[in-house]
Structures are given as C-alpha cells and as structure tokens.
Chains A and B, each alone.
Chain A
Amino acid sequence: MLFWILVAILTAAVAAVLILPLMRAAAPLPSRHSHDIEVYRDQLDELNRDREAGLIGSEEAELARAEIARRLLSASAADTTAAEEPPKRLLSSRLAQAFILLCLPAVGLLLYLTTGSPGVPAQPLAARLANPGDDISILIAKAENHLALNPDDGAGWDLLAPIYMRNGRVADAVAAYDRAIRLLGPTAPRLGGYAEALVVQSGGLVTAEAQSALQKALALDANDPRSEFYLALGLRQEGKNAEALAAFRKLAGSSPADAPWLPLVNQHIAELGAAEPNTAAAPPANPTSEDIAAAEELDSGDRQAMIRGMVDGLASRLKEDPDNFEGWMRLIRSYVVLDQRDKARDALREGLNAFPASGEQGKQLLALGRELGIDASGEVK
C-alpha cells in the first residue's frame, strides 16, 4: 500500500513540475536576430584585437570588418522589422495539460505493471543474513561466508556437502565432500556421499574415481549399504553382470527385511537374473523412469539426491547434446514425477527447439505434453 502511495506522490510531483510552466503568464518572445547581433559585435571586437596585435594586415582587417558589418546591419534591420511578437496563449495549453495528466500515469502504470514486480521487497544481504528464517539459500551463503574465512573448518564442509547435494549444487557438493575428507579424514558416510555426488555429477555413471572412493568406504565399513549399492550399479554399468548380480544379492542378503532400498535392489536382481545369459548389456546411459520410481524406496535423503541428481545430469547432458529425442521425453516425464511443472514446461520448450513441432518427433513431444497436462501453447514457433 505504502508503495502505491509513493508511486502516486511521485507521479503527482512530476505532473506538477511539468504543468507549472503552463500556468505562468507568457512574456513576449525576443527576436531571433538579437542573438546574432551579439555574436557579430563580439567578432568585430575580436577583429580589432587581432589587428592591434598585428595578426592580420590592415587591408584584410578592413575587408573582414566590412563583411561582419554587413551581416550586423542586415541582422539589425531584421531585428527592428520583426516587431516583438505578442504573447500567444493558445487553446493548446489546456490540451497540453490534459495530455500531461493523462500520459504520465497511463504510460507509467502500463509499462510498470508489465515490466515491474510490485510488492517484492528489497532484500539487502545484510538483513537476510541477520534474519535468515528458513531461507535455505541464505543459510548456505552464511555457511559459505563462514567457510571462506575459515577454510579449514572440516566440520563445516561436512555439514554443507549434503545440503549442496539436496539443492542440486552437485559440483559444490563434490568439492565440499573432498575438503571434508581431506580435513577430517575419510569415513564411510563421507566417502559414500562423495562417490554419490560424483555419480550424480557424471549423470548417473559410476566413474572410476567414484568406484575407488566406494571401495575405500567399504574398507572402512563393510556394511555401508549405499556404497555397496553404487558399487554394484557400477559393475552393472560396466557390463559385469554376474559380478553385479552377486553384489546386489549380497546387499539384499545383508539388509534388514524392511530396508527401504530393498525393492530397488531386488528389481536390479530381477533384471540381472533375467538377462543373465546376455553378456553384452548396454550400460544404461539415461536413468529410466523405473529407476526413478524405484529410487523412491531409498531412504529419503538418498532418494531425493538420487532423483534430482539423475534428472539434473540428464538435463545438463541434453543441454550439451539436444539431439536426443528419448532423453527429452524422459526428462519431461521426470520433472512431472518430481512435480516440477515449470521445469517440465521449460524442458518441453527446449525439446521443441531441437525437434520442431512440425516433425514427427516434435508431435510426439507435444502429445506427451498434452497427456501430462503441460501447457505448451505459445511455446511452439
């Protein structure tokens, strides 16, 4: 409310400043020529000085004087003939006032309402830091500021790393885990978290670096289910299905019967068991929607991280290589599963950039959007 009052005051003040000259009685307009006359007089003056200084010959000076005098005379003549014009007060004054009174608020409000964000308060960082509330980004920033000053506070990094992971800042999570491990020494949860972040960073792929971290984690705690799971996943991705199956079975065997990750593990076991004779299984490059659905069985922190990470990884890979129709379909679905409809819409739009709606695949994307209830209207070019 206060904002709109200030807006009104500002508009009124400007309108008043503009209308004020229109209220004043107009004085007569001096002739244009009087300005010229002054200039010519001054030129004569300068000519005299030049001549005294001997900068100009007397003959040239006389010629120049005659020339300037001629201009001066004609300007003077014009000055007297052009009688001072009577002040004009035209009907336009009222119209002008009306124009001002209309133009200022109309243009002002119209443009402001289309471009502005009324009601959004200023948020100086100092005030936010003093009173963070549940603003997670500011809590992170606070921790970051603390760590920038005390980069050797391992506990801080240890605390921050999973938070980064949960907020999708995977690269920062990798760095934070790395620091925590170096400062506080390796533990199974730290190494497991580090490996998980690496896996998510590479888009779901268990890289060699992640594997070595996982092996170290298992060396420290042979019963770390997360490490066991990712190591098994890595084996499966390498195509070592038999070893993967064994690893998954071992994990299933050592897990309590109500472990939340058990269904996912069992699913892998089932798939591997069925495909056992098939030795050349293609590594699953993209997380499947089943993966995502199954991941819901993991405990909540891991699940969140895994889903987000896989989806983020897919999104960033699609950014680099948009020529992947299947990927776009999956990404859109995943976002809907995660209930991130805005992102789903953005993904649909980007997908349509890569596969125009006129083509067959573009039509499929649009159909998917309709099926999932994502509004793609206006996005089609």
Chain B
Amino acid sequence: MTMMGYKCMQQGGSVLYRLTGATGRRLVAAVPLVWLLVFFLLPLLETLQVSFTTAQRSVPPYAPLWGFDETGFFTNFTLDNYALLAAYWQDYIGPAGNSIKLAFFSTLVCLLFAYPMAWWIARSTAKWRVVLLVMVMLPFWTSSLLRIYALIGLLNPNGFINSLLIWLGLIDAPLRMMQTDFSIYMGMVLTYLPLMILPLYAVMVRLDDDVIEVATDLGASSVAVWWTVILPLTLPGVIAGSLLVFIPAVGEFVIPALLGGPDQLMMGKVLWTEFFRNRDWPVAAAIAMLLLAILTVPIIYARYQDGREDHASDPQAGTP
C-alpha cells in the first residue's frame, strides 16, 4: 500500500490522496509505537522507579517512590540498591560473566549452524523453501519447556542415547552428558537456532544471483566470492540474528536451571533469588536496569555508528 502511494505521488497524485496517504502511513506506524509504549516503555519506567525505592513487607512489597500524605509531598528515593550492588560486586560479577559467556558462545554456535542451513533453504526451490521453513519453525509450536524435558530424556545417564550406545557395545558405562556445559549448550542452541536462521534466510533469499554470477565470471574464487560479496550482503542478517539470540540468551533462566550443574550460576538465577528469596524487588529492579544498560548501550552505539557510516558512504541515502 505504501509502495503504491509512493508511486502515485511520484506521478503527481492528487493533494487529497497525498494527505490520506500520509495519515494512513502515520496510522500504520502508530500501532506498533503505541504497542511499544504501553507494553515496553511503561513497564521499563516502572522497573526503573522500583529500583530507587526500598523493600518492605506490604502489597506491593516495596515503598512508593513518591506520593502525598497529610504532611504533603514525600519521597522514598534512595540509591541504596545500587550501592548494595557496588558493595557486593563480587557476588554479581561472576554470574554476569557466566551469562555473557554462555550467550556469546550460544550465539556463535547458532551462527555456525544457521548460516549454511539458511543458505541452503534460501537456495532451494520455492516449494521446498516453504517445507523447510515450516520445519525450522515447527519446534516453536511446542512449549520450550517440553523440548527441554525431551532433551533431558535423551541425555540422562539412563536416557535414550546412553542406552543405545551401551546396547551397541560402543561404551561400557553411561556417558555423563547431563549437568555439563555440553547439555546447557545443546539446550541453548536447540531453543535459539530458529531465531538465527530466520533473519539470515530473509537476507539470503533476497540476494541477487546475478551479483554472484558476475563475481564468478570475473574470476573470483568461491572463497573470494563469499568473503567479498556474499558475506557483506548477508551481514545485516548476521547482526539481526545475533542480537535476537544474544539478548534473550543473557537472561536465560530455565535452560541452565534444568540442564546445568551447580557451578553454572547465571544472571537469571541471581535475579530470581533477589526477587523470590530475598523478596527484594528494588534490588532485583536495580540489577535489571544495570544489565539493560550494560547490554544495550554498546549495541545502540554500534547501530548509531553504523547508521552514520551508511550516510557517509551513500550520498543518495535519505533522498527518494
């Protein structure tokens, strides 16, 4: 619709059409904006506010940040929650490191598997593409918890894989796969792989075959074609997929809890402890805000730099 509107305007469409076109476009843009405002920004501001108050035994279990009573305006504003995190930073830095490490390597492994898979799907015939994409998305239709339990059934000492290997005579004693790094990464990659494949597929399927053909005709080796042509063109998909996997993976709670051993304390569990065991919603909120800042500021900065470079290298950018 917008594409059509755009073309009409190019041909000098009526003023009326131009007006409704602009309103229509604004309306279309307004829906997701309102959605983000109500379900993302407001809860975020609420969390930020809670991070500056104190916990107490009441409903809700924290003091109001500000309000009015018989003496007039009052506030419970405090930086104590952040001070507590600073004072006991050793207790938080380890789990934060564990979570970032887990998220980083999960993203990397997902990328290594997803890149060739997405390429293969994008290069299949249109009919096969649909089938393959449905197969990628199919696991999303079952609860991720159920899939994790299925994985436990496979990896257990008395599970399917060990039973099979023992029956085949390949091993004598069951392999220890559960509660190891291996089981955690299996769970992470299985859960997050589709989030990496889909954005990669989206860029790869739009990749113009002619560009590859031209590069090959001009004598580039297949490695050179990939490095100088395909990789730069698919980079937006790599970045989008990596962000989609990395960000939720940092806060992952269920997979390390069910598949991991005692030594893998992650940030998700630390938040859980603050929230449920210490019943300290303000400290939990402070951790969430800090994590958010640590993770998003570099990402926003990188995107901002990216945007500026695009502008600098492409003088046409921004003009129709």
- B partners with A: no
